């Protein structure tokens, strides 16, 4: 123990030393507070900036999904230009999307952003990797769209750059989507049945299949009107009209089930013709009853015949007409009597979709003559609707079932073009049905696969 002498006092620190110590302590606290504030701002900024990047990623994914679906829709084997068409469709759709809180347009580029493959697992190739005429072009059934958004500025997290060893710059996010053509689970068909006898006698893809309107001439027709509305107890003109003016019949009987012939229908022209951009009577409109992307008509007047008098393969020309939204050329040029002048291109551009390619059931038409007026479905055919029909008629006859009243273009007939089985890998048929599994037999439809 240290003893101090009486009267001895321990000296106290000087005032200057006390101030120095207090200043040192205050400086240390300030540093700690500053570091804590930076850390707090960094944590809050991290949450906000990660949220911003998450939103940007979601926006990019939406654009990539839409891009891939639009691109794969054109991979139907209908033309050797399908990769060019598919890329253009994908880029056009993708570029309509905005990113970074809808302030910037998504960035896509030709021969860079969209790749194609025969199988969903690749290998993936850009459009220009396949030269003109390469047979691999027609085998492509999958489209992948990749979009990257660079130079995304952060809001707060860059304040951490004040800490030693931290360097946070502008960020980058990317999204990718793969879409495939899959057989549909349900199909949306037009209400006609194609006679199997005709396809057996002439199985050529591209042939024109002929139908007539008069009941007395049904035996010479290669297709028949049928009601595909399975929810209806009785066949009716109204059922068929709704199918034609709407999406089509999407809840269909399976192969082997019977459909019933409905006989001649003399008042379906308004409904049929909506798919060509022709709207009469005030009951229909382009907004509610969309037309196809092209309303151009192929008739015995507008499409040349072969040396044997037959006509075929107008679909190849239609692809180019569809890409430029060519409207119906008018009755005087088409050789029809629809009561319409030239169609409006604006309605095709604004509301057009794929409305002139649709599946149709294949049946043995001789079964319709056996008293039951029913026949089992054997298969599904992809059919191209060639032209509008004359007003007040169901099959190109200007005066109902008056057999001898022939319009100038298509005689008393209407025509459809056969484009093969609806389930064939190269089928150009499109459907608004749901994608099915690998065992499906419906028409090919676009679906996201990755």
Which tokens in the block code for residue 382?
């992809």
Q: How far apart are CA 441 and CA 422, in angstroms?
A: 8
**248 and 363 share one domain:** yes
Mean pLDDT (whole number) for 136-164: 79
Last residue of a domain, one of 164, 183, 202: 183
DSSP H or E stretch at residue 61: helix 15-72
**355 and 383 share one domain:** yes
Question: Residue 14: inside a domain, yes or no?
Answer: no
**110 and 225 share one domain:** no
SS3 of 153-185: the string is CCCCHHHHHHCCCCCCCCEEEEEEEEEEEEEEC
Question: Residue 16: inside a domain, yes or no?
Answer: no
Question: Is the model's pLDDT at 196 over the cut of 90?
Answer: yes
Which tokens in the block code for residue 316?
């190849």
Domain of residue 168 covers 28-183
Question: Is the model's pLDDT at 385 over the cut of 80?
Answer: yes
Q: How far apart are CA 407 and CA 426, in angstroms?
A: 35
Please report the pLDDT score of residue 398 as a whole number.
Answer: 36
Mean pLDDT (whole number) for 430-442: 54
Please report the pLDDT score of residue 367 as a whole number.
Answer: 84
At 244, is the secondary structure helix, strand, or coil? helix
Q: What are the pLDDT digits (tens) for 164-179? A: 766 777 778 899 999 9
Question: Is the model's pLDDT at 395 over the cut of 50?
Answer: no
**129 and 200 share one domain:** no
Number of domains in the chain: 2
Question: Residue 396: inside a domain, yes or no?
Answer: yes
Longest Cα–Cα distance in the chain: 146
Measured CA distances, 353 to 14, 245, 276 (Å): 92, 13, 11
Lowest mean pLDDT among 72-86, 109-123, 436-450: 436-450
């Amino acid at each position: 123990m240290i003893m101090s002498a009486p009267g001895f006092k321990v000296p106290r620190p000087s005032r200057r030393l006390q101030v120095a110590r207090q200043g040192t302590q205050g400086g240390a606290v300030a540093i700690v507070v500053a570091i804590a504030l930076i850390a707090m701002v960094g944590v809050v900024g991290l949450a906000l900036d990660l949220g911003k990047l998450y939103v940007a990623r979601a926006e990019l994914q939406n654009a990539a999904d839409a891009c891939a679906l639009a691109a794969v829709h054109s991979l139907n084997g209908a033309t050797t230009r399908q990769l060019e068409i598919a890329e253009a469709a994908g880029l056009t759709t993708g570029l309509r999307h905005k990113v970074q809180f809808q302030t910037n347009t998504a960035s896509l580029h030709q021969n860079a952003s969209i790749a194609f493959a025969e199988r969903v697992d690749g290998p993936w190739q850009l459009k220009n990797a396949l030269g003109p005429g390469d047979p691999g072009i027609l085998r492509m059934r999958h489209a992948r769209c990749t979009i990257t958004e660079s130079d995304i500025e952060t809001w707060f997290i860059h304040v951490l750059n004040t800490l030693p060893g931290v360097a946070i710059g502008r960020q980058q996010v990317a999204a990718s989507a793969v879409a495939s053509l899959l057989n549909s689970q349900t199909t949306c068909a037009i209400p006609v049945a194609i006679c199997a006898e005709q396809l057996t006698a002439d199985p050529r893809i591209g042939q024109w299949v002929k139908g007539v309107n008069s009941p007395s001439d049904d035996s010479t027709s290669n297709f028949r009107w049928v009601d595909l509305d399975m929810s209806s107890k009785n066949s009716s003109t109204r059922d068929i009209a709704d199918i034609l003016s709407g999406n089509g019949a999407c809840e269909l009987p399976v192969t082997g089930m019977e459909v019933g012939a409905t006989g001649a229908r003399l008042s379906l022209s308004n409904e049929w013709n909506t798919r060509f951009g022709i709207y009469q009577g005030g009951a229909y409109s382009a907004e509610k009853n969309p037309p196809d992307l092209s309303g151009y008509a192929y008739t015995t007047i507008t499409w040349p015949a072969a040396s044997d008098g037959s006509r075929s393969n107008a679909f190849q020309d239609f692809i180019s007409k569809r890409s430029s939204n060519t409207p119906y050329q008018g009755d005087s040029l088409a050789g029809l009597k629809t009561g319409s002048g030239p169609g409006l291109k604006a309605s095709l551009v604004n509301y057009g979709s794929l409305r002139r390619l649709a599946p149709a059931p294949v049946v043995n038409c001789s079964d319709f003559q056996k008293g039951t007026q029913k026949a089992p479905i054997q298969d599904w055919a992809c059919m191209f609707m060639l032209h509008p029909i004359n007003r007040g008629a169901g099959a190109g006859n200007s005066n109902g079932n008056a057999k001898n009243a022939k319009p100038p273009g298509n005689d008393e007939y209407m025509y459809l073009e056969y484009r093969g089985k609806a389930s064939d890998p190269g089928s150009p048929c499109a459907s608004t049905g749901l994608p099915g599994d690998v065992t499906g037999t419906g028409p090919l439809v676009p679906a996201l696969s990755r």
